Amino acid sequence: MSNPLQGAQFVLAAHRISQLPPDHGAEVAFAGRSNAGKSSALNALTGHRGLARTSKTPGRTQQMVAFSLPPLAQGDGEAPLTVRLIDLPGYGYAKVPEELRAHWKQEIDAYLHHRRSLRGVVLISDIRHPMKEFDRMMLEFCFATHLPCHVLLTKADKLSRNQAAQALAALRKDLAAGGTQATAQVFSSQAPTGVDEARAAIVTLLQTPRE
Ligand SMILES: Nc1nc2c(ncn2[C@@H]2O[C@H](COP(=O)(O)OP(=O)(O)OP(=O)(O)O)[C@@H](O)[C@H]2O)c(=O)[nH]1
Ligand SMILES: [Mg+2]
């Protein structure tokens, strides 16, 4: 299958939302706890190994990093859509100084509330210990603001197929019980697993205008 997210390019790294690219077109943000595997997922999904910096040290991504994708074709007579992916800093890691954590909490909250081109969130959660406080907060936020969310249960290579399937079933049950519309899948940047499925989900998010 060809990769619809091919051709991603680094645009800029921002310390504040005011420094992000102009707020038009469509974008999808990658959110998750520190070290969950956001940057690795971005690289696997775009098929560009060195695109987003990854690290064994949690708290590596300390900026909002914007990547552009080639414009997406739309329906007849409509101009192609400018599209971006945004790598959000993972907050919640204890060793990140309190002041910086507070800064990111505020910036990410503002971003989620005010960014008009934002069409969805890809929430990256470690399949071995999913749905920690940060993830729940993000899901609740998406639910409250009608922001579509697709969960990648990543690092699935660390579990057997069976265990991974069980984790997904448990999460889906949990999501349904919470009344959220969020979708979820098993993923691994390393195996790789679930890459085509995730790409398709992201394209759908990008193409779907907000309510
Ligand atoms: N086994 C395995 N390891 C992974 C996978 N994805 C990421 N990792 C590892 O997890 C660590 C963190 O990955 P990153 O992609 O840097 O995580 P991040 O969420 O961007 O982290 P911060 O930017 O620090 O918030 C690295 O050591 C990666 O190699 C995966 O699918 N499988
Ligand atoms: Mg990162």
- At 104, the pLDDT band (50, 70, 90 cuts) reads confident
Domain boundaries, the chain: 9-207
> Residue with the nearest Cα to atom 3 of ligand 1?
155
Share of the chain above pLDDT 90, in %: 66
- Residue 92 reports pLDDT greater than 80: no
Q: Please report the atom of ligand 1 found closest to the CA of residue 192.
A: 31
Distance (Å) from CA 1 to ligand 1 centroid: 25
- At 180, the pLDDT band (50, 70, 90 cuts) reads confident
Cβ-Cβ contacts under 8 Å for 154 (sequence gap 6 or more): 36, 37, 40, 41, 124, 125, 126, 127, 187, 188, 189
CATH superfamily of 9-207: P-loop containing nucleotide triphosphate hydrolases (3.40.50.300)
Tell me 147's DSSP state.
-
What is the structure's pLDDT at 59? 62
What is the structure's pLDDT at 55? 74
- At 11, the pLDDT band (50, 70, 90 cuts) reads very high
What mean pLDDT is predicted for residues 142-153? 94
Q: Cβ(56) to ligand 1 under 6 A?
A: yes
Q: pTM of the entire structure?
A: 0.94
In this structure, which amino acid lies at residue 58? P
Q: Cβ(54) to ligand 1 under 6 A?
A: yes
Closest among 198, 206, 210 to 1, alpha carbons compared: 198
What is the structure's pLDDT at 94? 58
Burial status of residue 4 (CB atoms within 10 A of its CB: 0-12, 13-18, 19 or more): middle
The CA-based dihedral angle spanning residues 110, 148, 74, 49, taken in that order and rounded to the nearest 10 degrees: 80
What is the structure's pLDDT at 210? 84
What mean pLDDT is predicted for residues 137-157? 94
What is the structure's pLDDT at 61? 66
Per-chain mean pLDDT for the chain: 91
Q: Cβ(59) to ligand 1 under 6 A?
A: yes
- At 127, the pLDDT band (50, 70, 90 cuts) reads very high
What mean pLDDT is predicted for residues 167-173? 96
What mean pLDDT is predicted for residues 33-50? 92
